[in-house]
Structure 1
Amino acid sequence: MSGPATSHLATLAQGTLLAQEKAKVTNWPGYLGWTVGLLVLIGLVYWLMRQGWNWRRTLQSDLAALPAVPASAGPVILETSGRYHGTTTAGNWLDRVVAHGLGTRSRADLTLGEHGLLVLRPGDVDLWIPARNLTGARKDSGIAGKVVPAGLLVVTWTNEGTALDSGFRADHPDEHAAWVEAVNELATRTTKTKKTEEAAP
């Protein structure tokens, strides 16, 4: 068969194929089903994350209340601005502490004074670490599930006998070395003073 009849059959076949392809492309019930399923999955994951966060907060409910935040940190040693990345139990960078607002990342203004470390967190809970609670500082690459190749400033301190690590990143990370030195020096000086006072009759 040739001629007009063949051409007509070919046109019909092509039209049928195009109609089938169009039907596939405009399969709205199928697309809507996949979209709803994906949204439900995202909602479930978010709910599980919230449940895990609340469960961790419940487990850490025995963590003592944080020291009250004073008006100032005393004579200023160092100041900087940056980000607060979280707090963990000392030596365990994956054990995030969420009690008392310590689990929320935020902007932070840090002031190291003779009386301790004052961390002001706009829109979040401020943190005060008295000098007597400071045990040291170091530069590290990660904390609380957050890895920063350029490094973090990690301050180690105690709260009613619980050893903690708090991670910060200054807007200018080259300041970290000076902070490590200053915090360690303050912690050592305070420890010596405390021992001298305890030894006095």
Structure 2
Amino acid sequence: MTPLIHLAAADLVMAEQRSEQVTDWAARIGWVVGLVLVVALAYWLMREGWKWRGTLQGDLPELPDLPADPGAPTLRMSGRYHGSTTAGQWLDRIVAHGLGTRSRAELTLTDQGLAVVRPGARDFFIPTGAIRGARLDKGIAGKVLAEGGLLVITWAHGERLIDSGFRSDHAVEHADWTTALEALSTMNAQQEGAR
């Protein structure tokens, strides 16, 4: 093969390589639009599932409002509210009346009960007579921490027992809260036994 023919063949191969389309924009845009539609559908289905769960829990009574004068605070805690579940079923999340909304929380324990103030979410109150116990646990629906990293308060509301999970900004406070809430729970059990 002569050098001239060789160069001409090389130019022809390079011309063919240069003429190939680098990006198929129509296919790429189609894939991006398809992916956006799949993500939007998944988000919509999750939202509908959340609303459906709230409808199923429609028998749950309204949450007690904070009393005008709750009394002198026994304990205070700042931290996070991680949600509520049916007692003993850590994956059965309760979403009715805003109990499924995670948020910052300020807890105040008084003789009347437990005030839960949540900026950006609905506040609620757990009367002293409704407190059934407290424990340190590692998880509640959608949140798993180290062993003992979550303060779980069990309380009665309507016909249901509810577990609500809280995490203090200072985990060392959890032990004091567990002791105080267990004492209230024991006192409630004794009062009910005396009736």
TM-based fold match above 0.5: yes
How far 1:195 sits from its partner (Å)? 4.8
SS of residue in 1 equivalent to 2:14: helix
SS of residue in 2 equivalent to 1:93: coil
Q: Are 2:84 and 2:100, in contact at CA under 8 Å, matched by a contact in 1?
A: yes
How far 1:193 sits from its partner (Å)? 4.4
| Aligned pair partner of 1:188 in 186, 189, 195 | 186
| Aligned pair partner of 1:42 in 23, 39, 43 | 39
1:16-44 CA-to-partner distances (Å, cap 9, x unmatched) read 22332xx1x32110000000100110011
Match of 1:16 in 2: 16
Gaps of 5+ in 2: none
| 1:6 lines up with 2:6 in the alignment | yes
Give me the whole-angstrom Cα distance separating, in 1, the residues matched to 2:67 and 2:4: 95
Give me the whole-angstrom Cα distance separating, in 1, the residues matched to 2:2 and 2:114: 92
| Aligned pair partner of 1:55 in 35, 46, 52 | 52
| Aligned pair partner of 1:147 in 134, 144, 147 | 144
Q: Are 2:74 and 2:109, in contact at CA under 8 Å, matched by a contact in 1?
A: yes
Gaps of 5+ in 1: none
Match of 1:106 in 2: 103
Match of 1:162 in 2: 160
User: Match for 1:30: what amino acid?
Assistant: A
| Count of paired positions | 194
Moved over 4 A (4+): 193-196
User: Match for 1:56: what amino acid?
Assistant: R
- When structure 1 is superposed on structure 2, of 159-168 and 147-156 the one drifting more is 147-156
Q: Are 1:53 and 1:98, in contact at CA under 8 Å, matched by a contact in 2?
A: yes
The aligned runs of 1:123-142 (5 Å cut-off) are: 123-142=120-139
The RMSD of aligned alpha carbons is: 1.6
Task: State the identity as a percent.
Answer: 51
Give me the whole-angstrom Cα distance separating, in 1, the residues matched to 2:72 and 2:44: 46
Give me the whole-angstrom Cα distance separating, in 1, the residues matched to 2:160 and 2:28: 53
Give me the whole-angstrom Cα distance separating, in 1, the residues matched to 2:73 and 2:192: 21
SS of residue in 2 equivalent to 1:124: coil
Give me the whole-angstrom Cα distance separating, in 1, the residues matched to 2:69 and 2:85: 25
1:54-109 CA-to-partner distances (Å, cap 9, x unmatched) read 11111110111111221353221111111111000000011111111101111111
User: Match for 2:54: what amino acid?
Assistant: R
Q: Are 1:83 and 1:107, in contact at CA under 8 Å, matched by a contact in 2?
A: yes
